[in-house]
Structure 1
Amino acid sequence: MCSKLIVVAALVAMAVARPEDTPGYGYSAPASGSSPAQYDFNYAVKDDYSSNDFGHQEDRDGYGAQGSYYVLLPDGRLQKVTYSVNGDSGFVAEVSYEGEAQYPAEQPAYNPTPSYA
């Protein structure tokens, strides 16, 4: 009985000792005077040795964003995606391709001739 009383007293002491102005670990809303996000970024990679060619560009001002990205496909075409995001319209994308798909000529099957030594 005495140990229960000690545990209850310790819990009460911890509750009273906690300062009320200590911020919690949960989410806190941004300050009322903060402005919406604004940024501009881009990157590009072009490696002739491994035939890598891709990039991305995006601008954002407030709640709307627009941008594009591209990638060189294995068949030789360049795929471009231009997109925008405005309010409740969601992600609106337009996809286009540049170039003609190229497929290598089919190689004959490998049929080794038997060799008897």
Structure 2
Amino acid sequence: MYAKVTMMCLVAVALARPDKPAPPGGYGYAPSTPTYAPPKPSYSAPQPSYSAPAPSYEKPQEGMPFDFQYAVNDQYNGLDFDHSSNSDGKVVNGQYRVLLPDGRTQIVTYTADYNGYQAEVTYEGEAQYPEPQPYKPAPSYNAPAPSYNAPAPSYNTPAPSYNAPAPSYNTPAPSYNAPAPSYNTPAPSYNTPAPSYNAPAPTYEKPKPSYG
């Protein structure tokens, strides 16, 4: 019911607009004529107020003369290249050489001046394509650095807690005397014995001679 009432109100408002003609058959009145006109623009398109910028650069000046040369030959890592160049301040002439992964040597000879950079590229040697070797990853760790320091000694040489003991004794005094002699020199108890034998008489005679 509410939807029907809303729709009827919208239709009535649309039919009541003065800029729309009355529907056929009308309602017995003529549509009103609008009494206003759209305003005319009161401004004009702005004129450009800028000009082309002047160039902010100057004519290039001559450079400083130079001359250098260097070379690198690292057989362990497979690096071999060199570069030399010189300039009189107007024209730069140079050449660099580099060992390519395929075994050839690339040589670039160049000239640079106000007209630009011009290079000539040549190659030495013959390209080689060896069979790929199996991949061996390098170790991703390093030997750890020690994270400790040698401990400093936390003790000192102990001081002696005792003193040399004082002697508790004295030199003993002698408790004896030299004994007195208890004997006398003995008198001799014997006499010189008299001899009890005589000298024996000879029992043999002097032999007589037995020759004539």
TM-score (norm: length of structure 2): 0.33
The percentage of aligned residue pairs carrying the same residue is 53
CA distance in structure 1 between the aligned counterparts of 2:128 and 2:104, rounded to whole angstroms:
8
| Among candidates 72, 79, 94, match of residue 106 of structure 2 | 79
Q: How much does 1:57 deviate?
A: 0.5
**Higher strand residue share:** 1
Q: How much does 1:105 deviate?
A: 2.8
CA distance in structure 2 between the aligned counterparts of 1:66 and 1:43, rounded to whole angstroms:
15
Matched pairs, number: 75
- Using CA pairs under 8 Å that are at least 6 residues apart, name the structure with larger relative contact order, 1 or 2: 1
The corresponding residue for 2:89 is: 62
What are the equivalent positions in structure 2 for 1:41-56 lying under 5 Å apart? 41-56=68-83
CA distance in structure 1 between the aligned counterparts of 2:132 and 2:100, rounded to whole angstroms:
19
The corresponding residue for 1:98 is: 124
Superposed CA RMSD in Å reads 2.3
CA distance in structure 1 between the aligned counterparts of 2:132 and 2:66, rounded to whole angstroms:
48
- Residues 68-99 of structure 1, C-alpha deviations (whole Å, 9 max, x = no match): 111100000000100001322x1000000000
- Residues 19-59 of structure 1, C-alpha deviations (whole Å, 9 max, x = no match): xxxxxxxxxxxxxxxx7411100110001111100111100
**Higher helix residue share:** 1
Flag the structure with larger Rg. Answer: 2
* Deviating 4+ runs (over 2 angstroms): 105-108
CA distance in structure 2 between the aligned counterparts of 1:73 and 1:55, rounded to whole angstroms:
13
Counterpart residue identity of residue 70, structure 1: R
Gaps spanning 5+ residues in structure 2: where?
1-61, 135-212
Gaps spanning 5+ residues in structure 1: where?
1-34, 109-117
The corresponding residue for 2:166 is: none
